[in-house]
Amino acid sequence: MFNLKKKDLKELDLILLFATIALSIFGLVVLYSAYGGEIKPIMTQLFATILGFVVILILCTMDLDVIKKSYKFVYGLMLALLLMTLFLGRGLDEWGSNSWVYIGSFSFQPSEIAKVGIIFSLAAYLDIHKFDINDKKTMAKVIIMAGVPIGLILAQPDFGTAMVYVFFIAAMIFIGGISWKWIGIFVGAGLIVGFIVLTNLSGYRLDRIENFLDPTRDTSGSNWQQQQGLIAIGSGMLKGRGYLQGTQSQYGYIPEKETDFIFSVLAEELGFIGSIIVIILFAVVIMRLVMIAKDSNNTFITLMLTGIAGLLFIHIFENIAMTIGLMPVTGIPLPFFSYGGTFQLITLINIGLALSASMQKKQYDDGIVDEEAIRLIDYSMVKPEKINNKKEVINRLT
């Protein structure tokens, strides 16, 4: 499990590491302001951040080719956590879904933990079946593997988080080599399901869609949050009102300012300059994840990094877009900034996996290989005079 011989410290992606540190500090600073300058409410976030960097250090010593063999256990654990939410989950009255599990005074979100679980396990499975990904049996298993956790999350019900899963899973399958035929099938199925869902929305979910389509609708009721957030962002102008000086954020006009709408606090107090710095840092993180994935000769690492990049991108895009009126309001938090110990820890674990991969990216596949996949290889792609072993095939194709 721990194999420093496979790690090259000189290959550690320092740009990704420093961008992560900067965003973590920036996030704590803004969260402190969102809580009105009180340190006690952010102690959980601070502890999760420190623990996250400890986990990053541990992950950087681990051999990803070895731990990927535990993907079945990881997947089973992930399903167990999501099933636990169905029976023990709370939060429907406060936040619209039973997504939190309480153990005494400690609470966590299994759906957040499951994100890293499904990315890890799906990357391993797609790696095993990289040569027969478009086989009907393989694709059916992938659909079941991805669909079960999404279904459990929809049962909470948490539509926003389920859509996050759909996005990064789709990205992983696409990079995994899915054919255009399957892409067409999935897009068609997605449009049908989307139409059914949209035509059957009710309650606050329907209000969010209608408010998005008509920003002037119900500004003193269901649309109050977004309108106040927009006022805060606009009032920040170029340099902002000043740290801890935002009128909208400090006087409680913005609901959920510590979580979903924390970007409004940032924009109001630090202005366009502060906002664009954060967006640039986010862009750096995403680009470094994509570069590590692209440069890797290890299919598992490439797929895992694709999932992590997709996960962070959709969180960042949706959160910022909804606060500025470009997307409907959802309960999607902003990485490194929104309050939530589970979310913060899982975000840093994902970065830890990426940093570990950056030191192992030159390693070729040498792990588990599916027998059927080897049988289905089109050897005309390889063009050797003689193939001596499976590893030879893999190295030539990757």
Distance of alpha carbon 53 from alpha carbon 165, whole angstroms: 25
50 Cβ neighbours under 8 A, 6+ residues apart: none
Q: What is the pLDDT of residue 15?
A: 95
Distance of alpha carbon 91 from alpha carbon 340, whole angstroms: 14
Q: Amino acid identity, residue 93?
A: D
Distance of alpha carbon 238 from alpha carbon 250, whole angstroms: 19
SS3 state at 14: helix
Distance of alpha carbon 373 from alpha carbon 390, whole angstroms: 10
Distance of alpha carbon 133 from alpha carbon 52, whole angstroms: 34
SS3 state at 144: helix
Q: What pTM, to 2 d.p., does this model score?
A: 0.86
Q: What is the pLDDT of residue 37?
A: 87
Helix axes 159-175, 299-323, angle to 10 degrees: 140
Q: What is the pLDDT of residue 131?
A: 85
Check if the beta carbon of residue 137 is closer than 8 Å to that of residue 373: no
Overall size of the chain counted in residues: 398
Q: Amino acid identity, residue 31?
A: L
Helix (H) or strand (E) holding 12: none
Alpha-carbon distances of 134 from 128, 355, 380, rounded to whole Å: 13, 31, 18
Q: Residue 149 corresponds to which tokens in the numbers above? A: 């956790």
Check if the beta carbon of residue 311 is closer than 8 Å to that of residue 348: no
What count of other Cβ atoms lies within 10 Å of the Cβ of residue 130?
Answer: 22
Helix axes 14-34, 341-358, angle to 10 degrees: 170
Alpha-carbon distances of 34 from 71, 332, 340, 390, rounded to whole Å: 39, 17, 13, 56
Check if the beta carbon of residue 335 is closer than 8 Å to that of residue 347: yes
Alpha-carbon distances of 326 from 166, 213, 214, 222, rounded to whole Å: 20, 10, 12, 17
Which residue in this structure is represented by tokens 């809580």? 35
Check if the beta carbon of residue 81 is closer than 8 Å to that of residue 113: yes
Backbone angles phi and psi of 339, in degrees to 5: -65, 135
Distance of alpha carbon 330 from alpha carbon 317, whole angstroms: 12
Q: What is the pLDDT of residue 95?
A: 64
Report the half-sphere exposure of 29 (CA within 13 A, side-chain side): 13
Domain segments of the chain: what residues? 4-376
Helix axes 262-295, 224-236, angle to 10 degrees: 80
What count of other Cβ atoms lies within 10 Å of the Cβ of residue 93?
Answer: 7
Distance of alpha carbon 337 from alpha carbon 11, whole angstroms: 28
Check if the beta carbon of residue 100 is closer than 8 Å to that of residue 109: yes
DSSP secondary structure letters along 207-265? HHHHHHH-TTTTTTTTTHHHHHHHHHHHHHTTT-S-TT--HHHHTT-STTTTTTTHHHH
Per-residue pLDDT of the chain (398 residues; tens, 9 = 90+): 666 666 777 888 999 999 999 999 999 999 999 998 889 989 999 999 999 999 999 998 888 878 888 889 999 999 998 888 888 877 766 666 777 788 777 778 888 888 999 999 999 999 988 888 888 888 899 899 988 998 888 887 778 888 899 999 999 999 888 888 888 988 898 888 888 877 777 777 788 888 888 888 877 777 888 888 899 999 989 998 999 998 888 888 888 889 889 999 999 999 999 999 999 999 999 999 999 998 888 888 999 999 999 999 999 999 999 999 888 888 889 999 999 888 999 999 999 999 998 887 655 444 444 444 444 444 444 444 444 454 454 454 44
Q: What is the pLDDT of residue 45?
A: 93
